[in-house]
Chain A
Amino acid sequence: MTAALEVIEAPAKAIEGRSPVLLAMRRLRRDKVAMGSLVVIVLIVLMAIFAPVVAAITGHPPNEQYRQIGLTPDGLPRGPNGTFWFGTDDLGRDVLVRIAYGARISLLVGVAATAITVVIGVVLGLAAGFLGGIVDTILARLIDVVLSVPFLLVAIALVSITGPSLSITVLVIGFFSWASVARIVRGQVLSLREREFVEAARSLGAGDTRIMFVDVLPNVLAPVIVYTTLLIPVVIVTQATLSFLGLGLPPPTADWGGMISESQNYYTTAWWFILFPGIALLITTLAFNLFGDGVRDAFDPRADRLR
């Protein structure tokens, strides 16, 4: 008996147990583009965290209007110069400092709204797929409804009714994005719940909630992680789009979409006013998308075949 146990244990020590997530992380670390994007993301996060430092270095608070030195005698924005490295906006504010502060809004909304989306999506998707029956019927229709509604239109309408604010933006985006997550999770769970390990857990006396969250959930993590990384840039763009349409954060808060919207009337005279916030937004979404693409490849079991 003891000898038999030892035989089983010995190879278990020799072969290192690697979960799919661990294997994916390993593949991801070897992906140069993904790692490069991650560095860019970290830099953007640092810029957001240290936005007050940027303000201190330039000596310009984000909402200070330099009407004398920041505007031309005609009242137009000033181009990049020694004092204002990225130029000024239509009110004589420092574009560089406002970009640094704008990163806070983009990242905050990106992470918060994505978190809400994923939590709602995973819980409802699990419930629908695992519990089945009437719960599934109701949730499946609800998913259909949310996916059929023209998201941007309803989001604009809602924000215009409630008045723009950070929390409303986050809630609206989260509320309308969970359905895709729920659909993915539901699909996976539908096949997972027929597997033996669920039966095994049940025979050990585990309840529905425990099986759902402890046994089934880890098995749907891979698609959820992939979807989450790719959702962040979408959310950032959505927030910027709402701002661009005039439903961002109330002024004078600096946010990228709002800055681009304000720059529209000046794009013939002040290219820096649109260019720098535009580049900031594009670099951020591109970095997240490239990273997300790497994550997807890393989790794709077929990726090995191609490499």
Chain B
Amino acid sequence: MVMFLIRRLGHGILVLWLITVAVFGLFFVAPSNVAQTLAGRQATPETIALIKQRLGLDQPVWKQYLDFIKNALHGNLGYDYYHQVPVTTIIGQALPITVSLALGAAVLWLLLGVFNGVISAVHPRSLADRGLTLFSLFFYSFPSFLLGLLLLYFLYFRLTLAGFTWFPAGGYTGITQGVGSWVQHLLLPWIALALLLAATYTRLTRGAMLDVLGEDYIRTARSKGIRERRVIVRHGLRSALTPVVTQFGIDLGQLIGGVVVIETVFSLPGLGQTAVVAINQQDLPVIIGIVLFASAAVVVANILVDIVYAVLDPRVRLH
């Protein structure tokens, strides 16, 4: 187990390092006129040169990269070009928003997906099964921005017009400023994200449950006279959840790295929206910082999934 963990960690670090090389190469090789933008239109070449020097852009790329790695290993991801704020601070401010969004949505989509999946599996080929499959595929097919805009149109604009100001047009208030307001601001994005992601879980749960319910031990449990509900939940669902847990870890890892579209549509200044703003401003340190953070979230999530998998299913040999 320990050896396995060490190897997995080693792989993770290798992957992250390769990502720094790739990202750094891509963005720094690309032509950038950020110094020009910062200096303004009437800037003299001297001013631009000065700004480049201040940002370290006059150095050769490999030198910039080494400095970046050295600082990164000390927990410093550099400073943004425009206000000299540490990138770690920017990520620290945006992260709680993205985490709130991801975790809240996760609760919803797990409940929705697993519940629908179990119903489908218990009554395969029934009307309920077909209906739920269609329901989940319908929302799975939705482009996220379209679903977000539709929710805004009906549940914000139409409702507000009708005199019910239940939902805001977007924005974020921290949980410290009141749980009610926090939920109010996040409910629509949660619903949007949950509907988009639930389909995968419905399918996974359905498939795994169908397999499990055909097993001998389920028949044994039934013949012992255990109530059907208990057979399904205690005996069936428990072992059917392994693929769901795997998928859940991967999805959550990806979402923690930024939910670009939903954050943009609902004006939530989380990691995704922060990155989009940085991209529009060519704010390289911020872009690289967030890309790295997001990749790290995925790498860590994958390692955690492997561990959880091994704990849940003792048949899995860790090697």
Given the complex of chains A and B, what is the CA–CA distance between A268 and B160 in angstroms?
A: 12
Pair B261/A150 contact, Cβ less than 8 Å: no
A285 to B276 alpha-carbon distance, docked (Å): 25
How near does chain B come to A263, taking the closest CB pair, in angstroms?
Answer: 9
- A150 is contacted by which of B138, B143, B291 (Cβ under 8 Å)? B291
Q: Does A282 reach chain B (CB closer than 8 Å)?
A: yes
Q: In the complex, which residues of chain A have a beta carbon less than 8 angstroms from the beta carbon of B68? A: none
- B261–A244 contact, CB under 8 A? yes
**Interface size range on A against B:** 35 or more
A-contacting 9-mer, from B52-60, B101-109, B149-157, B231-239: B149-157
User: Are B15 and A260 neighbours in the complex by a CB distance under 8 Å?
Assistant: no
Determine whether the beta carbon of A154 is less than 8 Å from that of B23.
yes
- The residue among A149, A290, A307 with the most chain B CB atoms within 10 A of its own CB is A149
Instruction: Verify A149–B291 contact, CB threshold 8 A.
Output: yes
Count the A-B residue pairs with Cβ separation under 8 angstroms: how many?
122
Main secondary structure of the interface of A (DSSP, over half): helix
Determine whether the beta carbon of A278 is less than 8 Å from that of B272.
no
* Known contacts A149-B291, A150-B254, A153-B258; A245/B141 CB under 8 A: no
Does residue A68 face the partner (Cβ distance < 8 Å to B)?
no
Question: Are B257 and A150 in contact, CB atoms less than 8 angstroms apart?
Answer: yes
Beyond A145-B18, A282-B142, A286-B141, whether A260 also contacts B260 by CB under 8 A is no
Q: How far is the CA of A99 from the CA of B203 in the complex (A)?
A: 32
Q: A267 at interface (Cβ–Cβ under 8 A)?
A: yes
Q: Is B143 touching A285 in the complex (CB atoms < 8 A)?
A: yes
- Scoring A residues 48 to 92 as 1 if CB is less than 8 Å from chain B, else 0, what string do you get? 000000000000000000000000000000000000000000000
Known: A153-B294, A160-B280, A245-B261. A148 touches B19 (CB 8 A): yes
The yes or no answer to A240 lying at the interface (CB within 8 A) is yes
Is B149 a contact partner of A260 (Cβ separation < 8 A)? yes
Binding site for A on B (CB under 8 A): 11, 14-16, 18-19, 22-23, 26-27, 30-31, 124-125, 133, 137-138, 140-146, 149-150, 153, 157, 210, 254, 257-258, 260-261, 264, 272, 275-276, 279-280, 282, 287, 290-291, 294-295, 298-299, 302
Q: Which 4 residue pairs across A and B have the least CB separation, nearest first?
A: A150-B294, A285-B141, A286-B141, A161-B30
